[in-house]
Chain A
Amino acid sequence: MQGLFRFCDVDFDPAALRAELIDPAAGGYVAFEGWVRNHNEGQAVTRLEYEAYAELAVKEGERILAEASQRFPLLRAACVHRLGELEIGGLAVWVGVSAAHRDEAFAACRYIIDEVKHRVPIWKKEYYVSGDSGWVNCERCAHGTTPGADHRTHPVR
């Protein structure tokens, strides 16, 4: 099982990543692609920007992939996250896993993307049609709003 967590500051092609997961013992492959959508929390989004604390983010991302392979019988897993500016429809994050059976492939893929969203020091700035912009999960917290399930800030590990 090979773990790979990477950042990419230009658009990337998932097909090449998929090839890295091919394994003769694999009965299936599950991938998740996160795309930039044109709205968030009632606001029309025009584009967004990702920033990471790469040194720590790569370590934490690798830890998540290692955890996934301990929890589920995987063959391979990888995650690539985009940094910099993205347009609507752009590929923001890709997670792929291969495993002998589909159940663990689905479960592990879900585990990895959930943990990456909650734990890896990556930040997203949205630009809105209104001309405003804001750091997702930060602006609302700053005004005392209780973070919801998708805005979990710092889970206890």
Chain B
Amino acid sequence: MNQMDKNAPLFGLVLAGGASTRMQRDKAALAYAGKPQLLRACELLQAVCAQTFISVRADQTDDPVRAALPQIVDRPGGHGPIAGIHAAQAQHPQAAWLILACDLPYLDGETLAHLIAQRDPVRLATAYRSSHDGMPEPLCAIYEPHGHAALVGYIEGGGRCPRKFLMGADVSLLAQPKPRALDNINTVAEYDEATRSFSEAAAGERSIQVRYHAILREQAGRSEEHLNTAAATPAALFEELRARHPFALGREQLRVAVNAEFAEWSAPLRDGDVVVFIPPVAGG
């Protein structure tokens, strides 16, 4: 570590050279809310990096999704993400690189900002610990310039895997502020799930009918109400209503039904649902 590293500018690189074999279509072009995820990843980096590039193979430079973005082309013989990191470091050796996979639709600015705030330039890299297996996440990580020699040595020794490289290196590992933020998308089913969750979030509010019985009806002063709410679960909805009505019972004393069937408090609420909070029963 020298003085230069501490002052090293932070450059961003989105890895967009993947073969997308499991998805069977170009991952970089996959769109969320109409925007290719490659572009979305670039915009996230542009907000926090001095310069941002995309990493491409030589045969991808004219691809429509990639052509308009500043590119760093893999060196001949390079293979996979590690070749992209290598090429970027070689082209701008003075920079620290924030490396990002392009297939992280849940990634948000907060997760990047936390990584940058916790960056430790003395170490070879700063990375998140995977919320799934505890291993380093190599494709949302900051690689310091003084680590370039080690990376070159790893590649020359036959190494291909950025994760294994980080596992064998002096790396600062952070807990993810949002556990799902680094979930990547490899299959069509995963893409569909992400798309669905975004469209629901974009809708923001749901139209919900709430019906009240017994003590809750009396305390709410009505037997039903319609509301537009951002509450995503019955639990959140109840807390929202509790702020408005003088309910004496807490959630732990109630059950909840959605569309005339008992439901979990954490169940997802959908537009048009009918929700009934059920106070302690007393039949017989």
Which residues of A come within 8 Å of B, CB atoms? 34, 50-53, 55-56, 59-60, 81, 92-93, 113, 116-125, 135-139, 141-143, 147, 151, 153-154
Contact B280 A116, beta carbon cutoff 8 Å: no
Identify A55's interface contact among B253, B260, B262, CB under 8 A.
B260
| Interface status of B4 (Cβ within 8 A of chain A) | no
CB contact between B257 and one of A51, A56, A122, A142 (< 8 Å): that residue: A56
Flag if B279 contacts A56 (CB, 8 Å): no
Residues of B contacting A122 in the complex (Cβ-Cβ under 8 angstroms): 281-284
6 contacts between A and B (CB under 8 A): A117-B282, A120-B281, A123-B213, A123-B282, A138-B249, A147-B280
Residues of A within 8 A of B215 (CB): 123, 135, 138-139, 142
Contact with A along B272-284 (1 / 0, CB 8 A): 0000101111111
Q: Which of A51, A55, A92 contacts B284 (CB 8 A)?
A: A92
Do B260 and A121 touch (CB < 8 A)?
no
Q: Is the CB of B278 within 8 A of A93?
A: no
Q: Mark B1-39, 1 if CB is under 8 A from A, else 0.
A: 000000000000000000000000000000000000000
Decide: A123 and B281 in contact? CB cutoff 8 A: yes
How far is it, in angstroms, between the C-alpha of A135 and the C-alpha of B254 when the chains are bound? Answer: 14
For B284, list chain A residues within 8 Å (CB): 34, 81, 92-93, 113, 116-117, 122
Instruction: Tell me the B226-282 residues at the A interface (CB within 8 Å).
Output: 248-249, 253-255, 257, 260-262, 276, 278-282
B276 touches A56 (CB 8 A): yes
B150 contacts A by Cβ under 8 Å: no
What residues of B have a CB within 8 angstroms of the CB of A56 in the complex?
257, 260-262, 276
Q: Which residues of chain B come closer than 8 Å to A151, judged between CB atoms?
A: 280
Beyond known contacts A135-B279, A137-B282, A141-B280: 20 more, CB 8 A cutoff: A51-B213, A53-B213, A56-B257, A56-B260, A56-B261, A56-B262, A92-B284, A117-B283, A121-B278, A122-B281, A122-B282, A122-B284, A123-B214, A123-B282, A138-B249, A141-B253, A142-B253, A151-B280, A154-B254, A154-B280
Cα A118 to Cα B283 in complex, Å, equals 7
Residues of A within 8 A of B260 (CB): 55-56, 59
Interface residues on chain B, number (Cβ under 8 Å): 21
Inter-subunit contact A121/B282 (CB<8 Å): no
Q: Which of chain A's residues have a CB closer than 8 A to the CB of B281?
A: 117-123, 137, 153
Q: Are B213 and A59 in contact (CB under 8 A)?
A: no
The CA-CA distance from A53 to B255 in the complex, in Å, is: 13
A-side contacts of B279, CB under 8 Å? 123, 135, 137-138
Highest count of chain B CB atoms <10 Å: which of A52, A137, A147? A137
Q: Give Cα distance in the complex from A118 to B257, angstroms.
A: 16
A137 and B213 contacting across the interface, CB-CB below 8 Å = no
Distance in angstroms between the alpha carbons of A142 and B254 in the assembled complex? 11
Neighbouring A residues of B257 by C-beta, 8 Å: 53, 56, 121
Q: How far is the CB of B262 from chain A (nearest CB, A)?
A: 7
Q: How far is the CB of B160 from chain A (nearest CB, A)?
A: 51
